[in-house]
Amino acid sequence: MPTPRLTELPDAVLRLIEKASGPIAGVETVNAGRNSAIAARVRTADRTLFVKGLPLDHPWVWTQKREADVGPYVRNIAPELHWHVEEDGWSLLGFEHIDGGHADFTPGSPDLPAVMATMTRLADVPAPDVDLKTMPHRLRTYVDDPADLSWFTGNRLLHSEWNPHNVLMTDRGALFVDWGWASTGAAWIDPALWLLWLIAHGHTPGQAESEAAAHPAWQDAPPAGLDTLARVQHRLWDSIAGESTDDWAKPMQHAAQAWAEHRNAKP
Ligand SMILES: Nc1ncnc2c1ncn2[C@@H]1O[C@H](COP(=O)(O)OP(=O)(O)O)[C@@H](O)[C@H]1O
Ligand SMILES: [Mg+2]
């Protein structure tokens, strides 16, 4: 379930931001995104920050720490993390603010090669020495046979959440935000999860696979592993769409169905 976004920052949060970055000159809350109770553009005397946060008793507060842990590994492909504080009931992350729009994932979009260029840089990031969820674990409830999970095993750092709201287009290329669900697994999983979002934005499954094929790990993707992932994603998005009101849930459910049919991997 999405976390309701606060439109006013609580005093405790304002105080923590001032302690980390100095007096606040202005705050605007950000609407995009899904999980954070707080997402705001914060101006101080000398810089603009993006601050996201969750209450310390929120069930997903671990994603904040995960994002802080992954930050040093993704310096060149994500906004810089300035600080992480856990105090006074809040977990807050203070990032460099990026002036950039969300990526356009429709067919022919000039953002697609830029996104792939950054994804290719991510493929070169060495496996981080951080406690991350693994893709086999995350997908375990969607397979018939636990042996199928072995397709997803690997030690690559994966972003895994390819909602275009998590991709900001800037004059230094595409930057990826929202690393709270970063995971480890086989390197081809990121382009495969990305292609579902391309289908949801108007690509045919064949076109979306052609875009994904520009990823260096795609040539190693075992066809049976892709078939299994397609089946698993179909089940996963059926389940999400059954309970979610997010406006991307239904398009993603249809996209996952279309990819599974394309790969002949119906549930
Ligand atoms: N460093 C940043 N600079 C500017 N805007 C950002 C930055 N990081 C995230 N955003 C914007 O804030 C939204 C929410 O942030 P995100 O990290 O995706 O949190 P959530 O977990 O709530 O989805 C993003 O969709 C993006 O539009
Ligand atoms: Mg997000």
User: What are the extents of the domains in the chain?
Assistant: 11-96, 101-262
CA–CA distances in Å: residue 190 to residues 120, 187, 197, 201, 220: 10, 7, 11, 17, 13
Identical fold for domains 11-96 and 101-262, yes or no, is no
What fold is seen in the domain 101-262?
Answer: Aminoglycoside 3'-phosphotransferase; Chain: A, domain 2 (3.90.1200)
* Paired strand residues for 57: none
For the CA of 180, the closest atom of ligand 1 is 21
Select 11-96's CATH number: 3.30.200.20, 3.10.530.10, 2.40.30.10, 3.40.50.970: 3.30.200.20
Closest CA to 90 of 130, 112, 57: 57
Say what angle helices 189-200 and 111-123 make with each other, to 10 degrees.
160
- The predicted-structure confidence for 93-151, as pLDDT tens digits, reads as follows 999 999 999 999 999 999 999 999 999 999 999 889 999 999 999 999 999 999 999 99
Atom 17 of ligand 1 has which residue's CA nearest to it?
A: 178
Q: Which residues line ligand 1 (CB under 6 A)?
A: 30, 32-36, 39, 50, 52, 79, 95-98, 165-166, 177-178
Closest CA to 51 of 59, 62, 61, 43: 43
For the CA of 30, the closest atom of ligand 1 is 12
Yes or no: say if 5 and 36 are a contact pair by the CB < 8 Å rule.
yes
- State the pTM of this model: 0.95
Would you call 188 helix, strand, or coil by DSSP? coil
CA quadruple 55, 84, 67, 171: dihedral sign: positive
- 197-217: average pLDDT: 98
Would you call 202 helix, strand, or coil by DSSP? coil
Q: What are phi and psi of 174, to 5 degrees?
A: -80, 135
Pocket probe for ligand 1: among 165, 170, 175, 244, the residue whose CB has the most ligand atoms within 8 Å is 165
For the CA of 36, the closest atom of ligand 1 is 22
- The predicted-structure confidence for 140-164, as pLDDT tens digits, reads as follows 999 999 999 999 999 999 999 999 9
Atom 5 of ligand 1 has which residue's CA nearest to it?
A: 98
